[in-house]
């Protein structure tokens, strides 16, 4: 079977997320145009992608059946949007999280794309209706929100605009599956989508527990990394409920009153400022000083952990 796929993918914006998307698409054999406004940025991005692919290949963690040189050869840089987009089947926008920048780029794309190109945005928290409303090709637009770094963390939230064609959602879903991601469909847009709503609920209670002097910042993080997080890498909160009793109905029977009592004791939304902010900052900086060298070293460690976890999940799945 020829591992090279038909149809070209365009990545708009070659920063952290754009590079990781490019690697994910290349691993599945797609031809990619990596577009950015600055040539130096593209050069740096391609160098960085090549280096990462080689390192992954060395440790046997490069995805796909193609060698790193073959995958890298599939990615071409481009600073001309019109030629980048020509013949594209799918465009993944990865420009900075700024509504004006995103509206401008989608307006430019609206004037040059064909009637069947999928236009996807990587936005973390801007609603599709804010970015896409009024575009001629609004029916072809969707948010495909990845988790950083998408090469190692497969989840992608697909969030439609109210006018997005169902066929575009299905096409995007199938494409994400093809490149080894794990897409989920939101039926309608909502602020924060699903992932950040869950994440913010956790951050909010973590902040309150530290702020109220119940637990130290270090121990709070352990509650997740050595507790809840251990099983959440394999199953979600709903299946956890199902298995932690004799099924969901039995879980609700046993724990309904307790859950409601505890939830009622949650305080107001923290202001994420002041004394608690100082306390958490101090604890985090003792562990990892907030300068680029220390942060990058810790990020490399995080990515290595995610890589091992991805490998473990693959092994567990294939058993």
Interface residue list for ligand NAI (CB under 6 A):
12-18, 35-38, 41, 94-97, 101, 105, 122-124, 145-146, 148
Q: In which region does residue 87 sit, left (phi positive, over 0), alpha (psi from -120 to 50) or beta (all else)?
A: left
| Per-residue DSSP letter, 270 | P
Nearer to ligand NAI, 66 or 91 (CB): 91
- Least Å distance between CB 16 and ligand NAI? 4
3-class state of residue 143 by DSSP: strand
- Least Å distance between CB 146 and ligand NAI? 5
- Least Å distance between CB 35 and ligand NAI? 6
Q: Are strands 155-160 and 118-121 parallel, antiparallel or unpaired?
A: unpaired
Phi, psi dihedrals of residue 25, rounded to the nearest 5°:
-70, -40
Nearer to ligand NAI, 66 or 158 (CB): 158
Nearer to ligand NAI, 39 or 65 (CB): 39
Q: What is the CA radius of gyration of the chain?
A: 21
- Least Å distance between CB 232 and ligand NAI? 18
- Least Å distance between CB 303 and ligand NAI? 12
- CA–chain centroid gap for 82, Å, is 27
Nearer to ligand NAI, 96 or 292 (CB): 96
Nearer to ligand NAI, 194 or 241 (CB): 194
The b-or-e profile of 82-105 (16+ CB within 10 A means b, else e) is eebbeebbbbbbbbeeeeeebbeb
């Amino acid at each position: 079977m020829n591992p090279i796929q038909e149809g070209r993918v365009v990545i708009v914006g070659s920063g952290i997320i754009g590079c990781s998307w490019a690697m994910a698409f290349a691993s599945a054999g797609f031809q990619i145009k990596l577009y950015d406004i600055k040539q130096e940025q593209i050069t740096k991005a391609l160098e960085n992608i090549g280096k990462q692919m080689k390192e992954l290949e060395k440790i046997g963690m490069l995805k796909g059946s193609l060698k790193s040189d073959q995958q890298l050869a599939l990615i071409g840089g481009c600073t001309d949007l019109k030629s980048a987009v020509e013949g594209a089947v799918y465009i993944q926008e990865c420009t900075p999280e700024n509504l004006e920048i995103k509206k401008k780029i989608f307006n430019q794309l609206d004037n040059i794309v064909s009637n069947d190109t999928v236009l996807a945005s990587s936005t973390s928290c801007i609603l599709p209706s804010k970015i896409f409303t009024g575009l001629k090709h609004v029916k072809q637009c969707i948010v495909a929100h990845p988790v950083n770094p998408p090469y190692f963390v497969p989840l992608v939230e697909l969030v439609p605009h109210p006018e997005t064609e169902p066929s575009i959602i299905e096409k995007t879903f199938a494409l994400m599956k093809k490149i080894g991601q794990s897409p989920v469909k939101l039926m309608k847009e909502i602020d924060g989508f699903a992932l950040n709503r869950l994440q913010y609920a956790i951050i909010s209670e973590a902040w309150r527990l530290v702020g109220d002097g119940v637990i130290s910042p270090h121990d709070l993080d352990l509650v997740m990394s050595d507790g809840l997080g251990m099983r959440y890498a394999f199953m979600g909160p709903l299946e956890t409920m199902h298995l932690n009793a004799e099924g969901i109905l039995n879980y609700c029977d046993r724990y309904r009153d307790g859950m409601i009592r505890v939830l009622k004791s949650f305080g107001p939304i923290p202001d994420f400022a002041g004394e608690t902010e100082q306390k958490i900052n101090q604890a985090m900086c003792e562990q990892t000083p907030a300068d680029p060298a220390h942060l990058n070293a810790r990020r490399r460690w995080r990515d290595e952990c995610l890589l091992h976890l991805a490998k473990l999940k693959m092994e567990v799945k294939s058993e």
